[in-house]
Structure 1
Amino acid sequence: MRKPVVVLVGRPNVGKSTLFNRLAGERLAIVDDVPGTTRDRLLAEGEWTGHVFDVMDTGGIDPTTGGKDPLSIGSADYIEQIRVQAKAALELADVVLFLVDAEAGVTPADLEVAQILRRNQKKEEDGRLNPPVLLVVNKADNNALRNMASQFYELGMGDPYAISAVHGTGTGDLLDELVANFPQEPEEEGEPSVKIAIVGKPNAGKSSLLNCLMGEERAIVSPIAGTTRDAVDTFMMYNDIPVTLIDTAGIRRRGKVEPGVEKYSVLRAIRAIERADVALLVIDATTGITAQDTHIAGFILEAWKSTVVIVNKWDAVEKDNETMNLYTQKIRQELNFMDYVPILFISAKTGKRVDQVLPTALRVQEERLVRLSTSQLNKVIQDAQARHQPTTKSGQTLKIYYGTQVRSDPPTFMLYCNDPKLAHFSYRRFLENRIRENYTYLGTPIRLVFKSRREK
C-alpha cells in the first residue's frame, strides 16, 4: 500500500517550509524571511495517529508574473518555474494544504492561487472534489489573528484552519482533518503478481528494456491502468508466473533540469519502488555508474526492496576480456552498501542477455521470501560470536542470547541481547555476512533488529 501524498501550496512567504519542517519532524527545508526561498520541492515522511504519509513542500505559486513588483522577491527570475513545479506536484497530491497568511489577510495573489487549485480539482462520482484542499491560515500566533481567520471564507475553499506553524498551535486539529481526507486504498483485483519496477536516470534505456521484455514470445502482455496519478503498469505472464512491470520516469540529477520536472519524476519513481517487490536499477554502460545511480540505489534500499543491477547499452562499449570485470568492480565499489545484488550486462537494443533479466528478478523474489529456521539462525549467531567477540563499549560487551526470523519480505531477524545500544554498525554487518554465508538472500536486503531481552 502506497503512502498518501500531502502537498503544501500557496503564494511565497506564507510559511510552507516552516509547516513542512513541523510535519516532517525535522528541519529539512531552508527557511528564510525573504519570499521565494524555496525554489524546488522537498519530500519527507510524516506521521499522525498511526497514519504515515509523504509531505511535499513546493516553491510558492506566484500568479503575478510580469508585474513590476512580483511577490516573490528572492525568486523573481524563477516565478514561472515555481508555478510549473507546484502544478506538477498537485497532479500527484492526495490532499492539498493551501496556506495563507493571517497577518496579511486575503490578497489578490491568494484569490488567484485559489482559482488555480479549483481548476486542478476534479469532481468524483460521489460529488467530492479530488484532490481535497484544506485551507490553512498560518501565522495566527494570537487570539486576535485566529479570530480574523473567518475573512478567508472569501476564497471559497471551505473552512479555514487557523494555525501557527512556528509554535504548533492548531496543528493537531489540522492533522486530524488531514488524515480523515486520505483516500481509501482500493483492493487489488485479479491474481497477485510479482511487481518489478524499472528505475534509473533518464536515457538509461528503461523504456527500451520494457519493450524488449514485453516482446518475449512466451509472454502475454496487456496494459493495466495504475493507481490514480501513477504510472501505467504492464501485466504479463512469464512461464505461467504473473508479473507486473512498473515503468517509471527517469530520476534526474538535482540542478540539471527545471525544478518542475525533476522531483515530479522522483516522486513517481519512489512510488513505483514502494509498490514493487523487486527493482531493476538500469545503468547506462556508456557513462558508467554515476552519483545519480547510487542516489537511486539509496531510494531502493530505504524502501527495503530487492534489487537487480542492469547495465544496459553494453553493445555500445568498446571492450576486451577485462572490461566486464572492471565494470563489475567499479559498480561493487560504488554500491558497497548493496554488495549482495546480482549484475547483468545487457543490450535492450540488440536483445543480448535480456532473456536473463526476468529469471534473475524472479529468483531474487524467491530468495526474498525464504525463512530461516530458529535453529539455523541461532547456530549462525553462536558461531559468529565464537569467531569474533563484539567490541566493548564502556566496559560492556554485547551478548546475543538468541534470535528468530520474525518476517520475510524483506527478511527480518529479531536478535535478543543484553543492550541494543552495544550493537555497533560494523558488528551488524559482520552478522549479516555470516547469515548470508548460510543463505545468500540474493539481491535482497536483510534487517537485523536488536531488542533487550528484558523489554516487553
Structure 2
Amino acid sequence: MAIVSIIGRPNVGKSSLFNRIAGQRLAIVDDLPGVTRDRLYAPITTDRGQFYLVDTGGLEEENSERPFAESVRRQVHLALAESDLVLFVVDGRGGINALDREVAMTLRRSERPVLVVANKIDDPKHDEAYYDVFELGFEEAIPVSAEHNRNISTLLEMIEERLPRQESLDAEDEIRVALVGRPNVGKSSILNELTGSDRSLVSDIPGTTRDVVDSVVVRDDRRFRFVDTAGLRRKSRIDSRLEYYSTVRTFQAIDRSDVVLLVMEGTEVATDQDKRLAGHIVEQGRGLVLVVNKWDLVSKDPSFGPKLLKKIREELSFVDHAPVVFVSALSGRSVGRLPEAICRVQENRCRRIVTSRLNEMLRDILAFERMPGDGKGRYLRISYLAQVSVTPPTFVFFVNDPSLVTVAFERYVIRQLRKMETFEGTPLRLFWRKKRPSAASTA
C-alpha cells in the first residue's frame, strides 16, 4: 500500500493537516515546536483505494539544542525512504524562511515526488501570499487551510492522481495490538524489536513516546498492527496539556485494540498505574498479555522468577487469566514469544462454545452444592444459557431472579467456563436475565 508522508518544519500545521485528512484526532496538536516527535500512521480510503498517511516530527535547525532534534531528523529520513509521495507543508501565511529552504534541500536530495502544501491560507483573497513557495524549486503547490477544511478535498484528489490504483486494505485480518505501561518500562524498545526497525524514539528519558505510533508487521502470514503509547503517569504528574493528551490517547489505543501488551518493569511490577491500566483493559473486553521487561537485570537469582510471578498473580488477581511473558528488549530475549501469545489470546477472544458443551456446563453448575439464595427460602434457578457473542466471549443466563446472583457464584461460573474451554488472555462477560414466563403458563 502506498505511503504519503507529511513533512515540514515545526508549527506549520502538519498534525492539523494529518487530523483533517484522517478524519479523527490522531496527532497531538499544540503550539509548542517539536510536539509531534514520532511518526504516526493512518490508513486513508479514497476512490482509488487506500494509502497510509504518515505524520512526522518537525525538522529542526541543524544547530537546535532541543534533545530530540537529531532523532526527529532520523525519523524524517526514515519516512522519506518509505514514501511514495511527500506533502511538504509550509506556513503560507507566514512566508518562507531559511529552515523551509533547508527542508526543501533535504526533500530534493530524496528524489521523491513532492507536493507543496501552503497551509493557513484561510481565504481565497490571500492566495497570492503562497506564491513565494515556488521559489523552493518544486513544480506543484496548493493553498489550504487544515483548520477550516479549505481545499482539503482538492488536495486529496491531487494525492489520488499521483498514486497507483490499489486494492483496498482488508483490516479485518489484522490483529490490533496496543503496547501500554508506565513511562520508561521499555515499550518502544519492545516495539522496535518486534518490528525490526527504529520506529519509535527510544531514550532513557521517561515519556519519550508521547503520541501513539502504528507499525504494521506480517509474521507467519498473520498481520499485526502494533500501537506504542506514551507511558501512563500518576494523576498528580499529569500537569500539562501534552501529558493529558497522551494519557487520553493511551486509553483510546486500548479501546481500538484487540490485544493489549501491558508492559511492566521486572524491578517494579503491579503498581497502581499497572492496576489502573489492567482494569480498563478488562472493562473494554480486550485481550491481555502481561509483559515483564528488563528481565536480564533481575533474573540472576533462580528463585526470583517464581516469587515475582506469585506477586503478579496476587496483586493483579483480577486478570489472572492473562499469560505472563518475561522478556529483555535490550537483548531481544523472549520477545519473539510475544506474537505467538498475541495470536493465542486473540483466538481465545473469538472462541465459541457449542450448545452441547454449554448444556454440560449447566449440569455442572446445577450440581453446585448450594445455589445462592435470599435467606428466606428462595434460591437461584437457571433455566438455560447461551453464548451471544465473541470478542470477548459473552454469555447470557436466564434465571428466576437475577438479584439472587452473588459475586462469589459468578466467579464460580467463570471458573467453570475456563475449565471447559481455553480462554487464556480474554475476559469473559456474563449477563443474568429474568426468564420470561412461557405463553402456556400465562394463559
1:245-291 Cα distance to aligned partner (Å, 9 max, x none):
11111111111342434432221111111111000000011223211
The answer on whether the counterparts of 2:146 and 2:152 sit within 8 Å (CA) in structure 1 is no
Give 1:367's aligned residue: 348
Give 2:239's aligned residue: 258
Give 1:417's aligned residue: 399
Alignment partner for residue 382 of structure 1, among 363, 373, 378? 363
1:158-201 Cα distance to aligned partner (Å, 9 max, x none):
xxxxxxxxxxxxxxxxxxxxxxxxxxxxxx84343110110101
Q: SS state of the match for residue 396, structure 2?
A: strand
Give 1:214's aligned residue: 195
User: 1:172-321, aligned counterparts within 5 Å?
Assistant: 189-192=169-172, 193-215=174-196, 231-321=212-302
Q: CA deviation at 1:374?
A: 1.5
Superposition RMSD in Å: 3.1
Q: SS state of the match for residue 211, structure 1?
A: helix
CA distance in 1 between partners of 2:247 and 2:306 (Å): 31
The answer on whether the counterparts of 2:214 and 2:228 sit within 8 Å (CA) in structure 1 is yes
The answer on whether the counterparts of 1:373 and 1:404 sit within 8 Å (CA) in structure 2 is no
> What is the identity, as a one-letter code, of the residue corresponding to 1:374?
T
Q: SS state of the match for residue 310, structure 2?
A: helix
The answer on whether the counterparts of 1:381 and 1:431 sit within 8 Å (CA) in structure 2 is no
Instruction: Point out the structure with max Rg over C-alpha.
Output: 2
Instruction: Rate the CA distance shift 1:230–1:318 in 2: closer, same or farther, 3 A.
Output: closer
Q: CA deviation at 1:424?
A: 1.0
Instruction: Rate the CA distance shift 1:222–1:322 in 2: closer, same or farther, 3 A.
Output: closer
Instruction: Rate the CA distance shift 1:412–1:314 in 2: closer, same or farther, 3 A.
Output: same
Give 2:420's aligned residue: 438
User: 1:91-110, aligned counterparts within 5 Å?
Assistant: none
Instruction: Rate the CA distance shift 1:4–1:382 in 2: closer, same or farther, 3 A.
Output: farther
CA distance in 2 between partners of 1:342 and 1:201 (Å): 19
Q: Work out whether 1:335 is the aligned partner of 2:360.
A: no
Q: SS state of the match for residue 286, structure 1?
A: coil
Q: SS state of the match for residue 364, structure 1?
A: helix
Give 2:46's aligned residue: none
CA distance in 2 between partners of 1:222 and 1:345 (Å): 23
> What is the identity, as a one-letter code, of the residue corresponding to 1:124?
N
Could you tell which deviates more after superposition, 418-427 or 341-350? Answer: 418-427
Q: Unaligned 5+ residue runs, structure 2?
A: 1-22, 26-144, 154-167, 201-209, 439-443
What is the aligned length? 276
CA distance in 1 between partners of 2:297 and 2:246 (Å): 27
Q: SS state of the match for residue 387, structure 1?
A: coil
The answer on whether the counterparts of 1:253 and 1:262 sit within 8 Å (CA) in structure 2 is no
Q: SS state of the match for residue 430, structure 2?
A: strand
Q: CA deviation at 1:385?
A: 2.2
Q: SS state of the match for residue 367, structure 2?
A: helix
User: 1:71-110, aligned counterparts within 5 Å?
Assistant: none
Give 1:122's aligned residue: 147
The answer on whether the counterparts of 2:270 and 2:316 sit within 8 Å (CA) in structure 1 is no
Q: CA deviation at 1:230?
A: 7.2
1:227-259 Cα distance to aligned partner (Å, 9 max, x none):
xx9733111111111111111111111113424
1:390-433 Cα distance to aligned partner (Å, 9 max, x none):
22115221111111111111000011111111111111110000
Q: SS state of the match for residue 380, structure 2?
A: coil
CA distance in 2 between partners of 1:125 and 1:280 (Å): 40
Q: CA deviation at 1:334?
A: 1.1
Q: CA deviation at 1:4?
A: 8.4
Q: CA deviation at 1:127?
A: 7.7
Give 1:448's aligned residue: 430
The answer on whether the counterparts of 1:194 and 1:242 sit within 8 Å (CA) in structure 2 is yes
CA distance in 2 between partners of 1:418 and 1:126 (Å): 61
Instruction: Rate the CA distance shift 1:316–1:346 in 2: closer, same or farther, 3 A.
Output: same
Percent identity reads 37
Alignment partner for residue 353 of structure 1, among 334, 337, 361? 334
